[in-house]
């Protein structure tokens, strides 16, 4: 049996340095490799012209830049683009690119499926299959950036890159959000490698405030992230009290609101901005009443934050419905009147099921969540 080739996409700067040292090469080779792979998007080792020919030959024998097997590529009417990626064993994950005038946001996945099993999320509904490797996580940015760049009109002119006043005209993806499939903080080590590459000047050089990790609240890992790589953080809240959050986000049973909010406060000391984002998925007659808005205001008083209200994107099995637009507005106005910062997330790409929570990929359900749900009692929503 031949040994599988090493995927160079799996290495951040430290990993690449260790890898080249193991091949008796000088440390600066690591930088050159990162540059070829991530900045220039070159996947053919033989084409890396400033590496010695002998090094290229030995590297070709043992390493590769493993391409992501893209099995579907769709474009929505609003320009949103969605790719389906085959991650083997009949599993697939999705990533979404959302172009706007002044930014290009790539929403990427961290796991095939998700074990947290939030009631309103189609990824959770499928159960958990496996963690993505670091190469599969960063590979999404690698693929999207270099694929999109093929269209010169897609390239952004960002006034602040790399410093304010400097017009950087080489980038398509300016922001990355880990809001695709999976719970990023339950795949911590691979996430960290990928985040380090996003920030590395020899790779993508994104600023910490342009990279956002969204979490359902894995408290110990929030603390680790604050020390290892404090990028922007979004916390999926969805309920103003433990009784309801226990039902919507089952991880709340393990890390209840008091602990979660204390972890948020600790994170804020290291965060790249002086506020955190709380996501709140608006579910009709479940978490969208005036009383619940007031409870949310009390809960978050004292925490520097922005509340992002996400109109629920329905999927057939959820049995839940989206709050009416006027309800979402009324809820937002209660928050605003209390002096909070609150916004309503625009739905993008819904015609190709690319909006929040619609990313189902095609993960084979090995945890039988779907089957279990059929036998579950209908949920009696608390706190109405
Ligand atoms: N696991 C992480 C990141 C992925 S989900 C997390 O939960 O934060 C990204 C965001 O989409 C989360 O805020 C999640 O609650 C939200 N979301 C999930 N399903 C949704 C749906 N059906 N409609 C609207 N938002 C949804
Ligand atoms: Fe997992 Fe996030 Fe979906 Fe919850 S909302 S099931 S944590 S992906």
Phi, psi of 229 (to 5 degrees): -170, 75
Task: Say if CB 192 and CB 178 are below 8 A apart.
Answer: no
pLDDT tens-digit map of 76-93: 888 899 999 999 888 899
190 lines ligand 1 (CB under 6 A): no
Between the CA of residue 138 and those of 19, 38, 99, 178, 191, what are the distances in Å? 18, 9, 19, 11, 9
For the chain, which domains are there?
6-64 (1.10.150.530), 70-373 (3.20.20.70)
Give me the catalytic one of 114, 121, 264, 356.
356
pLDDT of 382 over the 80 cut: no
- pLDDT of res. 332: 98
Nearest-Å Rg of the Cα atoms of the chain is 21
Rounded CA separation 158/164 (Å): 9
List the helix and strand counts (H, then E) for the chain: 12, 16
Q: Would you say the C-alpha torsion 208, 108, 324, 290 has a positive or negative sign?
A: negative
183 lines ligand 2 (CB under 6 A): yes
Mutation choice for ligand 2 from 108, 116, 182, 373, CB with most ligand atoms inside 8 A? 116
Q: How far is the CA of 356 from the centre of ligand 1 (A)?
A: 6
On whether the pTM is more than 0.75, the answer is yes
Label residue 375 by pLDDT band (50, 70, 90).
very low
pLDDT tens-digit map of 126-180: 899 999 999 999 999 999 999 998 877 777 655 555 555 444 447 789 999 999 9
Mutation choice for ligand 2 from 187, 216, 249, 313, CB with most ligand atoms inside 8 A? 216
Rounded CA separation 382/244 (Å): 6
Task: Say if CB 95 and CB 107 are below 8 A apart.
Answer: yes
Listed in sequence order, the DSSP H helices in the chain are: 13-22, 28-34, 53-62, 122-126, 134-148, 188-199, 219-228, 242-248, 257-268, 290-300, 325-337, 369-375
25 lines ligand 2 (CB under 6 A): no
Burial annotation 358-367 (CB, 10 A radius, 16+ → b, else e):
bbbbbbeebb
Task: Say if CB 383 and CB 241 are below 8 A apart.
Answer: yes
pLDDT tens-digit map of 216-241: 999 999 999 999 999 999 999 999 99
Rounded CA separation 33/51 (Å): 9
């Amino acid at each position: 049996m031949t040994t599988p080739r090493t995927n160079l996409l799996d290495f951040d700067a430290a990993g690449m340095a260790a890898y080249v040292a193991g091949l008796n090469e000088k440390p600066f080779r690591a930088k050159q490799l990162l540059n070829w792979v991530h900045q220039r998007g070159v996947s053919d080792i033989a084409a890396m012209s400033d590496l010695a020919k002998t090094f290229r030959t030995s590297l070709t024998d043992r390493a590769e830049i493993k391409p992501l097997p893209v099995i579907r590529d769709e474009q929505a009417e609003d320009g949103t683009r969605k790719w389906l990626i085959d991650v083997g064993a009949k599993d697939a994950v999705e990533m979404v690119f959302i172009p706007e005038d002044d930014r290009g946001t790539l929403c990427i996945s961290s796991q095939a499926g998700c074990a947290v099993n939030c009631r309103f999320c189609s990824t959770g509904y499928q159960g958990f299959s496996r963690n993505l490797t670091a190469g599969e996580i960063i590979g999404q940015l690698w693929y999207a950036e270099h694929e999109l760049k093929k269209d010169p009109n897609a390239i952004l002119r960002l006034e602040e890159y790399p410093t304010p006043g400097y017009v950087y005209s080489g980038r398509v993806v300016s922001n990355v959000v880990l809001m695709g499939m999976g719970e990023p903080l339950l795949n911590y080590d691979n996430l960290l490698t990928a985040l380090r590459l996003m920030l590395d000047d020899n790779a993508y050089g994104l600023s910490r405030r342009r990279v956002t990790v969204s979490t359902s609240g894995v408290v110990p890992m929030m603390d680790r992230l604050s020390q290892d790589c404090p990028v922007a953080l979004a916390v999926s809240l969805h309920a103003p009290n433990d009784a309801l959050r226990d039902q919507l986000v089952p991880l709340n049973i393990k890390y209840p609101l008091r602990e979660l909010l204390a972890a948020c406060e600790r994170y804020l000391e290291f965060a790249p901005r002086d506020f955190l984002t709380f996501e709140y998925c608006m579910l009709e007659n479940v978490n969208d009443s005036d009383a619940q808005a007031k409870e949310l205001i009390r809960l978050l008083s004292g925490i520097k934050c922005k509340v992002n209200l996400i109109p629920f994107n329905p999927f057939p099995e959820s049995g839940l419905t989206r709050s009416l637009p006027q309800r979402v507005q009324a809820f937002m106005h209660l928050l605003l009147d209390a002096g909070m910062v609150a916004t309503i997330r625009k739905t993008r790409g819904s015609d190709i099921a690319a909006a929040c929570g619609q990313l189902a990929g095609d993960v084979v359900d090995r945890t039988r969540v779907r089957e279990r749900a059929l036998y579950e009692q209908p949920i009696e929503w608390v706190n109405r």
